[in-house]
């Protein structure tokens, strides 16, 4: 149940999704990944990717200059 | 989408693969351009996957894809789109993915005759052969125009439940979609790739001409998507932002370029690509002034930064009259 972070700032979609997807493929069930992004498209795409792959979207936070998305890895 | 649904309805487990080439239209441009802000920012392949209830794997092939764009064995389409080589490459990668992940065959939504160059009856076997997928490639929408494939022979899918669509008429596909309960469509393939865009292809060709070699970096192809591109001479080009969203995006590129921006008036950030002389930079400043809100003034202050994080040099310039900027300088 480790916590991991991913810097996807300044990347435009779909690259943040690809980076998150690739990182999650290395993680274990129950681990959490927090992704830091700047492209507002990630607010749609990362949650959609989680739904499609059956991972849990723990939280999305939109600050003035960045978006912080936390995902929990499920057994899919 | 339709091809997947047809196969799913035969009880087959399907997963999707979407390849990111660096030339994909969606996401990027809408994210960059403020005026597109109201457009849907959702990724259409993820949206399709969700509608179909399948997993979607998005794979970044942008580095390897260079070879396809630079050296297409089968040539280009109407613009710099190497569609046939691109399809061969993607089907080949999809088939490799299948073998690595225990999947049995590849399906595509191709329809014979739907695209003039890459979806002709004669190109279908070329894609199957050169991608090495051979008869493990099923095109459910036009299967009746093509030889039987391995999955059909093995009885994994029924040929009679596949289709015989051909040509550019999409009506039969739309009718099938309706009968399968699909009423919202994602954009058809082709409108989603910058290489089919004439203006974009001209900019890419201009980049190759100016550099004297056919090559590109990912940053180059990103910047071809934004701004006005103005080339007064072979040794330099200006990329002038057109609005706030582009301005913000281009700010991220300042460390890699000489750049200019007006300070006495509102106006665009301009990146200078190439090896400009002092006279070129003076000309660039006058053009930046032209695109600023001080375009009708006698004097505009434009700051020039030769190297990011070094002090700016303030230039006092007279905006260039619009009729002194020849149309031929605009790359579009
Ligand atoms: S339009 Fe499609 S097939 Fe043609 S080059 Fe672009 S991605 Fe490839």
Task: Tell me, letter by letter, the H, E, C secondary structure of chain B.
Answer: CHHHHHHHCCCCCCCEEEEECCCECCCHHHHHCHHHCCCCCCCHHHHHHHHHCCCEEEEECHHHHHHHHHCCCCCCCCCCCCHHHHHHHHHHHHHHHHHHCCCCCEECCCCECCCCCCCCCCHHHHHHHHCCCHHHEECCCCHHHCCCCHHHHCCCCCHHHCCCCECCCCHHHHHHHHHCCCCCCCCCCCCCEHHHCHHHHHHHHHHHHHHCCCCCCHHHHHHCCCCEEEEEECCEEEEECCCHHHHHHHHCCHHHCEEEEECCCCCCCEEEEECCCHHHHHHHHHHHHHCCCCCCCCCEEEEEECCCCCCCEEEEECCCCHHHCCHHHECC
Residue B245 pLDDT: 85
Chain A positions touching B59 (Cβ under 8 A) are: 18
Give per-residue pLDDT as tens, A13-54: 899 999 999 999 999 999 999 999 988 889 999 999 999 999
pLDDT per residue as tens, chain B (332 positions): 999 999 999 999 999 999 999 998 865 555 666 655 555 556 889 999 999 999 999 999 999 999 999 999 999 999 999 999 999 999 999 999 999 999 999 999 999 998 877 788 899 999 999 999 999 999 999 999 999 999 999 999 999 999 999 998 889 999 999 999 887 776 554 468 999 999 999 999 999 999 999 999 999 999 999 999 999 999 999 999 999 889 988 998 999 999 999 999 999 999 999 999 999 999 999 999 999 999 999 999 999 999 999 999 999 999 999 999 999 999 99
Shortest distance, CA A9 to any CA of chain B (angstroms)? 11
CA proximity to B289, closest of B259, B326, B264, B258: B264
Instruction: Give chain B positions within 8 Å (CB) of A10.
Output: 252
pLDDT at B183: 79
Best residue for ligand 1 mutational test, from B22, B60, B81 (most atoms within 8 Å of Cβ): B81
Indicate the SS3 state at residue A19.
Answer: helix
Indicate the fold that domain A3-72 takes in CATH. Answer: Translation Initiation Factor IF3 (3.30.110)
Residue with CA at minimum distance from ligand 1 atom 7: B193
Query: Which residues in chain B are contacts of A18 at CB distance < 8 A?
Result: 20, 58-60
What separation in Å is there between the alpha carbon of B190 and the centre of ligand 1? 6
Q: Can you read off the two tokens belonging to residue B52? A: 């179909």
**Hey, are the CB atoms on A48 and B42 less than 8 Å from each other?**
yes
Going from N- to C-terminal start, the domains of chain A cover: 3-72
- Active site annotation includes A37: no
Q: Which of B43, B47, B252 sits opposite A14 (nearest CB)?
A: B43
Nearest residue (CA) to ligand 1, atom 1: B190
Give which of B295, B242, B234, B293 is closest to B271, Cα–Cα: B242
- Residue of the CA atom closest to atom 4 of ligand 1: B83
Mutate which of B58, B62, B192, B245 to test chain A, going by most A C-beta atoms within 10 A?
Answer: B58
Strands B270-274 and A3-8: unpaired
pLDDT on residue A64: 82
Query: ipTM greater than 0.85, yes or no?
Result: yes
In angstroms, rounded to a whole number, what is the distance separating the alpha carbons of residues B325 and B256?
26
What residue ranges define each of the domains in chain B, with the CATH number in brackets? 2-193 (3.40.50.620), 226-329 (no CATH)
CB pairs under 8 A between A and B: 66
Q: B193 C-alpha vs ligand 1 centroid, how far in Å? A: 6
Q: Which residues, other chains included, contact B329 with Cβ-Cβ below 8 Å and sequence gap of 6+? A: B230, B231, B232
pTM: 0.91
pLDDT of res. B189: 47
């Amino acid at each position: 149940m480790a916590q991991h972070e991913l810097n996807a700032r300044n990347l435009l979609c779909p690259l943040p999704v690809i980076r998150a997807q690739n990182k999650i493929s290395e993680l274990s069930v129950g681990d959490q990944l927090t992704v830091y992004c700047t492209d507002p498209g990630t607010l749609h795409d990362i949650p959609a990717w989680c739904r499609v792959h059956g991972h849990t979207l723990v939280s999305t936070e939109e600050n003035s200059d960045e978006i912080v998305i936390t995902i929990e890895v499920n057994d899919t | 989408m339709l091809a997947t649904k047809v196969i799913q309805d035969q009880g087959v487990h399907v997963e999707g693969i979407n390849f990111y080439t660096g030339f994909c239209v969606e996401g990027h441009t809408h994210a960059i351009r403020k005026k597109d802000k109201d457009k849907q920012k959702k990724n259409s392949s993820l949206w399709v996957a969700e509608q179909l209830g399948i997993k979607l794997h998005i794979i970044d092939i942008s580095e390897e894809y260079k070879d396809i764009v630079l050296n297409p064995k089968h040539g280009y389409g109407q613009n710099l789109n190497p569609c046939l080589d691109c399809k061969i490459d993607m089907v080949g990668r999809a088939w490799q993915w299948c073998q690595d992940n225990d999947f049995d065959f590849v399906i595509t939504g191709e329809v014979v005759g739907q695209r003039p160059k890459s979806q002709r009856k004669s190109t279908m076997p070329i894609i199957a052969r050169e991608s090495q997928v051979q008869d493990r490639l099923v095109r459910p929408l036009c299967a009746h125009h093509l030889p039987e494939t391995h999955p059909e022979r093995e009885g994994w899918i029924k040929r009679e439940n596949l289709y015989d669509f051909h040509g550019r008429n999409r009506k039969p596909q739309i009718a099938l979609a309706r009968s399968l309960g699909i009423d919202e469509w994602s954009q058809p393939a082709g409108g989603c790739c910058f290489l089919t865009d004439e203006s974009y292809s001209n900019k890419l060709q201009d980049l190759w001409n100016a550099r004297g070699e056919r090559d590109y970096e990912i940053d180059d192809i990103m910047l071809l998507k934004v701004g006005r591109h103005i080339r007064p001479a072979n040794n330099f080009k200006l990329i002038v932002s057109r609005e706030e969203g582009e301005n913000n995006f281009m700010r991220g590129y300042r460390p890699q370029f000489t750049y200019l921006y007006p300070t006495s008036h509102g106006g665009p950030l301009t990146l200078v690509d190439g090896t400009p002389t002092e006279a070129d930079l003076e000309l660039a400043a006058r053009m930046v002034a032209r695109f600023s809100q001080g375009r009708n003034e006698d004097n505009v202050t434009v700051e020039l930064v030769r190297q990011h994080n070094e002090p700016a040099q303030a230039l006092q310039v007279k905006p260039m009259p619009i009729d002194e900027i020849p149309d031929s300088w605009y790359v579009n």
